[in-house]
Structure 1
Amino acid sequence: MASKPKTTHIPLAQPLLAGNEAKYVMDCLETGWISSAGSYVTQFENMVAQYAGAKYGVACMNGTVGLHIAQVVLGVTEQDHVIAPNITFIATLNAIKYTGAQPILIDVDPRNWQMDLDLLETYLREQTQTETKNNKVVTTDKTTGKRIRAIMPVHVLGNMGNMTRLQELAKAYHITIIEDSTEALGTTFKGQHAGTFGSMGVFSFNGNKIISTGGGGVLVTNNEALAKRAKHLTTQAKVSAMEYIHDAIGYNYRLVNVLAAIGVAQMEQFPEILKAKRHMDAFYREQLRGVGDIKFQSVCNNTQTNGWLFTFSTKHMRALLAYLNENGVQSRPFWMPMNQLEMFKNDRYITKTDVSAHVYDTSISIPSSAGITPEQLETVVKTIKEFYDL
C-alpha cells in the first residue's frame, strides 16, 4: 500500500508545559536552590501522595530507581524471587535484577494485557510451598527453594487488573506487593488510586508520562517507617546534617529541586490534563471502533484508566506502523516481551499460549500527548482509516 508523504508531524507523547513551570524554575535559579535541597521537593512529594491517597511520598530521580529502592527497603535480596508480568517496560525487570533477585515472569491476560491472575494463581498453587522459616511464614518456589519475596504488578499503559484478587493471592501466600504504577497516575480501581494497594507504589515522571519533570519519580506508601527508610537510603544514608556520617550503603537517588519545581507546576494542571487524556482515549475508541481488524485493550468495569498511551492491536501492525510514520503520525511498536530479551531469556516464564508474543507482534501506540489538539486527533484517525482504505 503506497503512502503519500505529508508535512504533518504529530508526536507520540510530549509533555504539556502550560502552567507555572518557567516561573517556578526561575525561582530555583534566582534563589540558587537547584539541587537536592529546596522546598519544591517536599511540596511535590506531598502533592503526589495526597493525590494518590497515600500518607507519604518520597521523591527520587526516576521511576526505575524508585522500584529499586522499594525492593531494598522491603528486604528483597539475591536469595529471593520477585514475580512480574512478561509485558512491561524493561525498567521493571532491571530494577529486580539490581537487587540480585531472580524474576519469575507471568504471561498477560489477552484482554487487558495485565498480569494473568489465573496463571499466577495456578503457579502459586502448584509450584510453590508455604513453610515457616525463622519464625516467619514464607512461600518458596519448589524448584529453586528461594523465597518469593514480592510481586510487582505493572499497570500497563495506565490500565489496571483486578487488584482485589491480587491482594487476596498475595495475602494467602505471604507475598509483598510493590506496585509498578509508573504509567498510572490518575488511574483507579474501585475508586482506589493506583500505587496504594501494596506496601509501596512508584510513579514515573519521565518525558513521555502523563505529567513530566523531565526525569523523576515518587514512591508512595502508608507506612511511615518505610517512607523514612526510603528517604534515608535515597539520600546517601547520611545521618547528620553537619557531619559526613553514613550508617548504610546509600544511593544518590534524590530528585533535585529544579525538577521538582516543574513537577509542582505539572500537578497544579493535572486535573485538566487527566480530563484531556480520558477524552482522547474515548475519542479514539469511538472513531476507530470497527475500523479494519483493530482491537482495543479492554478495561474492566471497576477500573478508570488515565488514558496514558493509546495502544491497539492489528495483524497489520508493521505495515500500519510504517504508513503512519511516513505520513507524519509518530507511532511506535509495543515493548518486546521480557522473555525474548537476551538478559531475561533464562528466567522462569509461566505461560500456556504465550499471549505476550501475540500482543507484541500486533500492538501499536499512536499519538497521545497531553496537549494533542482536536485537529491532530482527527488527522490521526483519518490517516489510520486511509491505511485501511476506508
Structure 2
Amino acid sequence: MEATEVKERIFLSSPHMSDEGYEMEYIKEAFDTNWIAPLGENVNQFEKEFATKVGSKAAAALSSGTAAIHLALKAAGVGEGDIVFCQSLTFSATANPIIYQNAIPVFIDSDEKTWNMSPEALEEAFEKYPNVKAVIVVHLYGLSADMDKILELCKKYNVTLIEDAAESLGTYYKGQHTGTFGDYGIFSFNGNKIITTSGGGMLVSNNEEKIAKARFWATQSRDQARHYQHSELGFNYRMSNVVAGIGRGQLKVLDQRVEKKRYIYEYYKRELSELEGVQFMPSNEWNEPNYWLSSMTLTSIVRPADVMEALERENIESRPVWKPMHMQPFFKKYDFVGKGVSERLFGNGICLPSDTKMTDGNLERVVKVIKSVIEEND
C-alpha cells in the first residue's frame, strides 16, 4: 500500500525572522551583557525606535497587547462601574481588560465600509450612554477605522480614545500611522502578527507622563526606595530584554513584511474577486492597510466552512472572521448598539493564508482549492 503524500503546510500567518539575522545580533548582545531579565538596553532602544517609527512621543514595551490595553484603561481612569464602548468585531483581548477594571463594556457594531467601528452606531451609543469613560476602536486585519468621525465624536463627548492597533502596525490613515490618533495606541507582537517578538506588546501615547506612569505600574509599582515599597497596585507587565532584542530586529523588516502582505492580498483579489459571491475586505482612498490577513466574504450558496474544510484537507490553514463580542457567551449579557453588520461579516467571512513566507506556488495551491469549491457549487 502506497503512503499518502503529506503536502507542505501553508500557515495562516507564522513568525518570519529576518534573512539578515538582525534579531540574533540583539539577542547575542543581551546574552553577552547578561541582561536577560526584564529591562535593559534592548527594551530602552526598542521603545525609542518603535515610537520614532510610528510617530509617537513615547512608548512602553510590555508583555502583551492585552497588558497595553489594560494599562491604557487604567491611565484613562476607568474603574468600577464605568462604561467603555468597545468594537464588537474583534478578538476577546480587546474587551477582557475592561472587565479587569470592573468596568462595563457596551459593544459597538461595525460598518460595511471599513469592517470597523461604525461612527453612526457610536453616535447612537453616546446618545444612549452620555457618561461613557472611554472608547476602544480596533483596526481589524490592518484596515483602519473611519478615524475622523470617531475622533470628532470622542472630542464632542470629552472621552478618552484608545486605538487597538494590534493587527495594524504599518497601516496608515491619511498618511499617519494607526495607533497614533487617539489618546493611547496599543500594538501586539504575538507570533502571528506582522512582526513578532514571540509575545509582547507596546503602549504608545503623546502624553509622556502617562507612559512613564504605565511603565511604573508595569514594573510592580515599585517605589523609589532602598527597600521594596509599593504605594499602588502593580503588575508584572514589562517586556524582557531578550524579547525586545527580537523586536528591534523585526522592526527593521516591517516595511518588507507590509509589502509582501500587500502582494498576497492583490494576488488573491486578482484571482478570486470575479468568482460568484466573493467580496474582498474593503479599501478606501484614505486607507493604506498592512493587509495583515487577507479576508473575504462569501455571499453565494458556498459557506465559509465549506472552503475552510476543503483547504484543511489540503493542509492549508484558514479561519473564520472574528466572532463578535456581543455574541460570545461571556459577554452576551452586555449591551450592543448596531444593526447586525458584525454578525453578517462573521457569518460570511473567511481569513485566507497570509503568511509572508508564502511562494507563488503556495498561493496557487490556495486559489486552486477555493476555485474548485465555488465552481463545483455554481
**1:43 equivalenced with 2:45 (yes/no):** yes
**Alpha-carbon deviation of 1:364?**
1.0
**Alpha-carbon deviation of 1:339?**
1.2
CA deviation profile, 1:91-144 (whole Å, cap 9, x unmatched): 01101111111011111112321011111112323x24xxxxxxxxxx32xxxx
**Alpha-carbon deviation of 1:356?**
1.7
**1:253 equivalenced with 2:240 (yes/no):** no
Q: Does the CA contact (< 8 Å) of 2:134 and 2:162 recur in 1? A: yes
> Structure 1 residues 327, 229: closer, same or farther in 2, change over 3 A?
same
What is the one-letter code of the residue matched to 1:356?
S
Q: Does the CA contact (< 8 Å) of 2:180 and 2:205 recur in 1? A: yes
Corresponding residue number in structure 2 for 1:297:
281
Corresponding residue number in structure 2 for 1:194:
178
**1:347 equivalenced with 2:331 (yes/no):** no
Q: How far apart in 1 are the matches of 2:103 and 2:70?
A: 11
**Alpha-carbon deviation of 1:154?**
0.5
SS at match of 1:218: strand
What is the one-letter code of the residue matched to 2:328?
L
Corresponding residue number in structure 2 for 1:60:
62
Q: How far apart in 2 are the matches of 1:258 and 1:299?
A: 37
> Structure 1 residues 22, 327: closer, same or farther in 2, change over 3 A?
same
Matches within 5 A, 1:350-361: 350-352=337-339, 354-361=340-347
SS at match of 2:138: coil
CA deviation profile, 1:248-298 (whole Å, cap 9, x unmatched): 111110000000000001001112112111222222222211123111111
What is the one-letter code of the residue matched to 2:347?
D
Corresponding residue number in structure 1 for 2:350:
364
SS at match of 1:152: strand
SS at match of 1:252: coil
Q: How far apart in 1 are the matches of 2:288 and 2:261?
A: 12
What is the one-letter code of the residue matched to 1:9?
R
The two structures have a TM-score, normalised by structure 1, of: 0.91
Which of 305, 318, 321 is the aligned partner of 1:331? 318
Corresponding residue number in structure 2 for 1:78:
80
Corresponding residue number in structure 1 for 2:152:
168
Q: How far apart in 2 are the matches of 1:297 and 1:217?
A: 26
Corresponding residue number in structure 2 for 1:375:
361
SS at match of 2:312: helix
What is the one-letter code of the residue matched to 2:56?
A
**Alpha-carbon deviation of 1:30?**
3.1
Q: Does the CA contact (< 8 Å) of 1:331 and 1:366 recur in 2? A: yes
**1:318 equivalenced with 2:301 (yes/no):** no
**Alpha-carbon deviation of 1:389?**
2.9
Q: Does the CA contact (< 8 Å) of 1:5 and 1:326 recur in 2? A: no
What is the one-letter code of the residue matched to 1:11?
F
SS at match of 1:301: coil
Q: How far apart in 2 are the matches of 1:361 and 1:6?
A: 31
What is the one-letter code of the residue matched to 2:54?
A
**1:16 equivalenced with 2:16 (yes/no):** yes
Corresponding residue number in structure 1 for 2:97:
95
What is the one-letter code of the residue matched to 2:331?
F
Q: Does the CA contact (< 8 Å) of 2:114 and 2:146 recur in 1? A: no
Q: How far apart in 2 are the matches of 1:364 and 1:45?
A: 34
SS at match of 2:238: coil
Corresponding residue number in structure 1 for 2:375:
389
**306-315 or 63-72: which moved more?**
306-315
Which of 198, 203, 215 is the aligned partner of 2:199? 215
**Alpha-carbon deviation of 1:83?**
0.3
Q: Does the CA contact (< 8 Å) of 2:107 and 2:336 recur in 1? A: yes
> Structure 1 residues 388, 17: closer, same or farther in 2, change over 3 A?
same
Corresponding residue number in structure 2 for 1:131:
none
Q: Does the CA contact (< 8 Å) of 2:106 and 2:335 recur in 1? A: yes
Task: Name the Cα RMSD after superposition.
Answer: 1.6
Corresponding residue number in structure 2 for 1:227:
211
**Alpha-carbon deviation of 1:242?**
4.1
* Aligned positions, number: 368
> Structure 1 residues 355, 6: closer, same or farther in 2, change over 3 A?
farther
Q: How far apart in 2 are the matches of 1:198 and 1:367?
A: 31
Q: How far apart in 1 are the matches of 2:28 and 2:208?
A: 33
